Structure 1
Amino acid sequence: MNTATAADYGWIRSSSSLFMFALEAGYTMTLVRGVLPEEVFRLARAEPGEVCQGLHALIQRHLELLDESDDWPESFLTGAFTVPGPRPDWTVILEFGGELGMRSGFMEPLSNGTRAVSHSSNGGKPMDFFHWYENGELRTTFEWPGDRTGRTPDDLNPLMREVGLDPSGDEDPEVDRKAAVLALTERLTGVRLTEDLLRDAEYLTAEVPEEPSEEWPAVVDITNTCGEQTYVERREDQF
């Protein structure tokens, strides 16, 4: 029986932990059962590239790609490895500044016939998300434990309480919510993420294209509370 709690993931806040880079820069981590890294990148429509020996090398390559871009890069680096063990069933997907694990168009086919769990943070701003997919369907997702959506938003409530998350929204200030989310991920996957595992893994990498931004219409129709319509022309130099 898996008994992981937030206390098992206190190491993520250590100043010496490379995971602190993920928390500060923003990250998305996804765990999927039975899908190899090469297949992950096929679903992401990205060509596999070099192998980074360890998390430090993955971070360095990410920083190099940022330095090589004059503006915001049109792709982000993603690394993936299969968790070692007697039954290598799970693949870990890690990215900095990307949102692959939050794209429904990726997570639905990735989890088709299996399970996928992702959690993320956008860095300095307090936005942290959790997603549980089962057989192509988003079962439970939340930013705050008390505000859940998905096909079965309450199915994880007993596990959430056990790891230190309160589904009622009445959070214990002594519990590290991010550490508890990692513990919840372990409960769903059976994978114990350790600093050593992430630090020493061999990451197959790929540059995943950013999704095209939604274009705004040239003329915006604004209707006020009285039903009066105003048409505003949008100019490119306004944004």
Structure 2
Amino acid sequence: MTNEPSRHSWLRSFHGGYLLEGYTLTLVRGLSPQRFLELLGAEPQGDFAGFNAFVAQDLEFQEDEVDWGDNMFVGATRVRGQDVDWVLAVEINGGIEFQTDAMERATAGTRGVSHFRSPDAMRLFSWWEDGELRTRFEGALHRQGSTPDELNDLMRQVGCDFETGECGLEQYVALAEELTGVRVTPETLRDGVYSTGIVEIPGLPH
């Protein structure tokens, strides 16, 4: 495997850099979008064709929120891996993966990966296996989970720097691709049909 930063840099320019304001992308093997939302405990909000329609619905949801962050709007679409379908979930900003226990349920008996960037540029990558958080990191030097070092070789191969700790968005996209066999592209997001739902984020202070 060779690291190809240019092939994995599309996220920075996608939709005019829209996702740099905050996003979460999650992949879970073998689930339909509807089953994924069910396991998250989401309240269904309908299906929307294309990223533009999904964003419009997300903006409408945000405008109706009184206390922002108590709930998260998520869209899920089906994508093809090397040998099985996966679900790709998108949140604008986001937080379901690390602020709830939803991924424990969603990855029971299967694999999931998620990467996140906040509006203040905090970045997280998480790898789940059979309901267990195996590795999560913000930068190559700050790792946690039940097997925090298991991805180290793969992280180096995709370009994470274990001297400086730098591991950028290109590396997150590449690492997700290596762990899932799913190549997410701008067209994947642009053309997806998104089943949507609202997930409650419990226990946040007002």
Q: TM-score, normalised by structure 1?
A: 0.78
Deviation at 1:67, TM superposition (A): 2.0
What CA distance in whole angstroms lies between the structure 2 residues aligned with 1:170 and 1:49? 40
TM-score where L is the length of structure 2: 0.90
* Counterpart in the other structure of 1:132: 127
Structure 1 portions without partners, runs of 5+ = 215-238
SS in 1 for 2:169: helix
Deviations 1:12-50 (A, max 9, x none): 222xx22721211x1111100011111211121123221
The residue aligned with 1:222 is: none
Find the counterpart in structure 1 of residue 191 from structure 2: 200
Look up the equivalent residue of 1:18 and give its one-letter code. H
Q: Tell me the alpha carbon deviations over residues 75-122 of structure 1, each in whole angstroms, 9 at most, x when there is no partner.
A: 221100110478542110111132112245111121111110001011
**Partner Cα separation in structure 2 for residue 67 and residue 135 of structure 1:** 36
Asked if the contact 1:4–1:187 (Cα under 8 Å) also holds between the matched residues in 2, the reply is: no
In the alignment, is the contact (CA less than 8 A) between 2:139 and 2:165 conserved in 1?
no
Quote how far apart the aligned CAs of 1:5 are: 3.6
Q: Does 1:50 align with 2:46?
A: yes
Tell me which residue corresponds to 2:169: 178
Amino acid at match of 1:198: L
Rg comparison, structure with higher value? 1
* Matches of 1:122 and 1:92, distance apart in 2: 19
Aligned residues: 206
Preserved CA contact (<8 Å) 1:55 1:199: yes
| Structure 1 stretch displaced more, 77-86 or 204-213 | 77-86
Structure possessing the higher relative contact order (Cα contacts under 8 Å, 6 or more residues apart):
2
> Structure 2 CA distance, aligned partners of 1:154 and 1:108?
20
2:203 alignment partner AA: P
8 A Cα contact 1:28 1:118, kept in partner: yes
Give distance in 2, aligned partners of 1:162 and 1:170.
14
Q: Which whole-Å deviations, capped at 9, do the CAs of 1:43-74 have from their partners, x for residues lacking one? A: 21123221111111111111112223344364
The CA RMSD measured in Å over matched residues stands at: 2.2
Q: 1:233 corresponds to which residue? A: none
**Could you list the runs of 5+ residues in structure 2 that have no partner in the other structure?**
none
